[in-house]
Structure 1
């Protein structure tokens, strides 16, 4: 595909086309004349008029389903999770430390209550799907069911995962999830009990699909030794991810704990985030679980949604390359000002990982993950790097507030430290967003079940037509 994109550019510029012989078996192979035709169509598209932005104001269109203040338009009801960023005083919203609740239980309490116990993500999955915290007997049954579902089979790994490898593991996940449909004996049945079974299968299979797809990419595209390791019974999902990912299969108790906490923190975030709203929209059409999940993965793949932590990591790599003394606050501040002035990094003027659409004083997920990032940094002897993150968080918040001339606090969001945590865990960048998808499957599943069990209407918003009705022009009269 990349080769052909380059060919189209050539045709667009000077009508010179060179097609390598090895492209003849490429499904996107095009001959010289066809490349020229595509180039012409691209020019036609470039001349297509854009909508007048004033029309959005005229018709009071809530662009992005947000009002003028940036608050999400109410489109549904949910009991799965709650995102709280304000406290009410005499009817007024007062900025406050953020709180995140799963089925009414605050996430901070959920993680604190685990103590040294593992299977925190599994317990969270039970809570999100069934609506209450499991007792020990319920958890034991749930874990035994989950354990039996944590396999793919050699045929699927060989015929699906190993085929058509690519660097974007999110695309690989979509392809694999959709193919699971053909292996399901009852794929189109959307009765709640069948959707529950499918959801539990996906929660347990997605880690294998992600890790194996990464190994396939590294082997077939990068020449690395192919390594496929089966998960072990008795280990948590977080432990098995590290086991399957690492060549030696070794990990520390703290590493497994930190990954478990990261998965919990990403398991859900209200019904209005893009991928979860996608779950509701697609599920309302009556489609199958695999199609719904693939659609949500597609949404999460977008850099405006699931890829933000990678942007943070790239930004910090740039900061490290240009700031000689990380402890020098003046030097660090000067470079952050350059980033805000669009003079450094990607010239976007953004300090990634700072600010949130809902949270005001703090993002509770960031607060918790930062604590565990510090623990892991000590174990990894990376405290100097952690201090850099902490300094950027503090300085950037102040600079952004000064730049915007507002008194509203600008807090770091969960993406600020998640990429750093994944890096310390040895998780490659190609798996940053897939780890997010692995974590979010229980939330998507809970919302899908909620949509199926509580509503019977397809979600169908309205779009206002603002074009013009014109008469049909016969072919021989067109210019």
Structure 2
């Protein structure tokens, strides 16, 4: 038995005391759930029907799940618009071009699609910004590498504050410059942080490669990540599409709303982006596709025959009954807070997942995903007696796509951040341009008032 495993009475006594404090903490913070109904509190900023409470206005993107016909809301196939343009049309327009994400970033920040000249100038600018300060990789990223790359991203972004000559200047010209730098730097920080983790925690070879300005964000990610730096045209295209569809999703999603809330205080860009990263890291937001991957790993372990629909249906029912996987009662990747009939991002990604599965020889696995999607939607609708349609969300296929691209699990959420920072920066600028008020919702106090008791008189 090691020294660490031996019983230590001091530690035991400390743990016992800590357990007592934990119970005190839980009991003192418990709120009767009935009070939320009594005071009509919109928990999660949602009404009783699950609709988000209107807290702001935006022109950056529009999320549509219903059509209004004769005054009635009718569930419809989901539509997502960036600055008024349907994302499906944008993806189709990028068909023969590799800089779809860069063009999307331009659109989100400046409100219009660029001309050839504007696009060339923007690409040159982003290529110039795609670097980190001298010795930053050695002094910041390589020192104390984290097992969680999102933490490394947060640490790096906060440290970049110290390299900025005017970090607290919240004028639009300065914030735009800071935004463009961060958008260009996120892929480098993420991949380098992963390489450092891989080297120091997994004892693998350290590969640090410089980006190429003439390559797209997607191409550079694959080139920096892979030991041989090689990738196929389809791989780069699929990753570019994934970046486009994750770049923005309205001002109400948790991380973008966080951007608005923190920016409304007048704080610096680095603090605002770090707060958004903290929001995205949560498994209920940016980390959801990892849950889908882990769920499928458990499914595969229990169902060797992927064509056995009865066995798959039984497993999914066990998930709903809290008898399988993490016993949460959830089928991860199914259902969305806004979309009903379909999530347009999932529809787009499903198409590219099929193409990539054919290139990778994983068509049987793709069929498994489509089977689970179909059966899960049916079961949940029947089980919950839903009066609205239920669909797969973008997380259902994104993890599978990233896995086929050879992206490690540790980079799933950072890839989301690499994409979504374009939307965050657009929302930050929108908040600074249009608002002079700090965002401050109300909380109602439901505790009791007490008379002060001197320490010696307390029991």
Is the TM-score greater than 0.5?
Answer: yes
Aligned length: 456
* Residues 1:457 and 2:437 are matched in the alignment: yes
Contact persistence 1:84–1:100 (CA under 8 A): yes
1:303 Cα deviation after fit: 0.7
**Aligned residue in 1 for 2:71:** 91
Matches within 5 A, 1:239-254: 239-254=219-234
Contact persistence 2:246–2:416 (CA under 8 A): yes
Matches within 5 A, 1:291-310: 291-310=271-290
Give me the whole-angstrom Cα distance separating, in 2, the residues matched to 1:15 and 1:93: 64
**Aligned residue in 2 for 1:209:** 189
Matches within 5 A, 1:219-238: 219-238=199-218
Give me the whole-angstrom Cα distance separating, in 1, the residues matched to 2:47 and 2:144: 43
Matches within 5 A, 1:149-168: 149-168=129-148
1:368 Cα deviation after fit: 0.3
1:406 Cα deviation after fit: 2.4
**Aligned residue in 2 for 1:139:** 119
**Aligned residue in 2 for 1:25:** none
* Cα deviation digits, residues 337-382 of structure 1 (max 9, x gap): 1221211111111111000010011000000000000000000010
> For structure 1, which segment, 110-119 or 252-261, has the greater mean C-alpha deviation from structure 2 after superposition?
110-119
Q: Any idea what SS the aligned residue of 1:151 has?
A: coil
Q: Any idea what SS the aligned residue of 2:67 has?
A: strand
Structure 2: gaps (5+ residues): none
Contact persistence 2:124–2:213 (CA under 8 A): no
1:402/1:183 Cα in 2 relative to 1: closer, same or farther (>3 Å)? same
TM-score by length of 2: 0.97
> For structure 1, which segment, 275-284 or 162-171, has the greater mean C-alpha deviation from structure 2 after superposition?
162-171
Matches within 5 A, 1:360-439: 360-439=340-419
1:122/1:41 Cα in 2 relative to 1: closer, same or farther (>3 Å)? same
* Cα deviation digits, residues 284-312 of structure 1 (max 9, x gap): 00000000000000000011111110000
Give me the whole-angstrom Cα distance separating, in 1, the residues matched to 2:10 and 2:391: 51
Give me the whole-angstrom Cα distance separating, in 2, the residues matched to 1:329 and 1:102: 38
Give me the whole-angstrom Cα distance separating, in 2, the residues matched to 1:233 and 1:191: 28
Matches within 5 A, 1:269-288: 269-288=249-268
TM-score by length of 1: 0.93
1:331 Cα deviation after fit: 1.7
1:161 Cα deviation after fit: 0.5
* Residues 1:358 and 2:338 are matched in the alignment: yes
Give me the whole-angstrom Cα distance separating, in 1, the residues matched to 2:133 and 2:301: 45
Give me the whole-angstrom Cα distance separating, in 2, the residues matched to 1:137 and 1:360: 40
Matches within 5 A, 1:68-107: 68-107=48-87
1:326/1:465 Cα in 2 relative to 1: closer, same or farther (>3 Å)? same
